[in-house]
Amino acid sequence: MEKTLVIIPTYNEAQNVQPIAQAVLDAAPDVNLLFVDDNSPDGTGRLIDQMVEKDERIHVLHRMEKDGLGRAYIAGFKWALARDYEFVFEMDADFSHNPKDIPAIQEAAQGAELAIGSRYVGGIRVINWPLHRLILSRGAGIYVKLITGLPLTDPTGGFKCFRRCVLESINLDAIVSNGYSFQVELNHLAWRKGYRIVEVPIVFEERHSGASKMSNKIIFEALWMVWRLLFQAKFRRTARVS
């Protein structure tokens, strides 16, 4: 079986790391799990170290400071590529992404280069979100499609699986976005290169514990990022034909 890695960035997720690791490995026993911890002051990193000692499928990458979602994932991608993983997942630590969806997303990635867990394909499947968050999320998807042409219902979603060829083809050091627009930038780059992208229906539930990382800075970054992507694509709003 081709090697699969699930990358979970963490910052102050001490309440979640043990249960999410157990849930992931129960749902997909053959995967490996990499936590990328940004020196969490609540002791998240120490808890993960204890988990690593007990289960060889669990790994941790300690970073010196809080440096953003995008930088955490890029560090994880490089770690994965150096260790010959074929399938590389992004996933949140807070149970907003259901680990039981991992097998379905990985199966979809067998026939594509990027499989995205979508909250909106075929309808809206979001639990316990306030209306303004839902409007912001849906509005972002429409905004991205109108400006860039990216034909996805959920371009900002963070539950996805890359084939290694996609990550190898992207200059990871040139990625500039760091918040939720990081997801849009990676999706757009993969689409522009002509890779096959599929969306898999998932149910998204607001985090069980801890605090959301959403901020005005993240929203503003996303607003200008789509225009940068359009300019980068020389105003082409279609994918490269493979």
pLDDT in tens, 98-150: 999 999 999 999 999 999 999 999 999 999 888 988 988 898 889 999 999 99
pLDDT in tens, 57-92: 999 999 999 888 999 999 999 999 999 999 999 999
Calculate what percentage of the chain has a pLDDT beyond 70.
91
CB-CB contact of 62 with 70 (8 Å): no
pLDDT in tens, 10-39: 999 999 999 999 999 999 999 999 999 999
Q: What pLDDT is recorded for position 214? A: 52
Question: 218 falls in which pLDDT band (50, 70, 90)?
Answer: low
Calculate what percentage of the chain has a pLDDT beyond 90.
74
Q: What pLDDT is recorded for position 98? A: 97
What are the structural domains of the chain?
4-232 (3.90.550.10)
pTM: 0.91
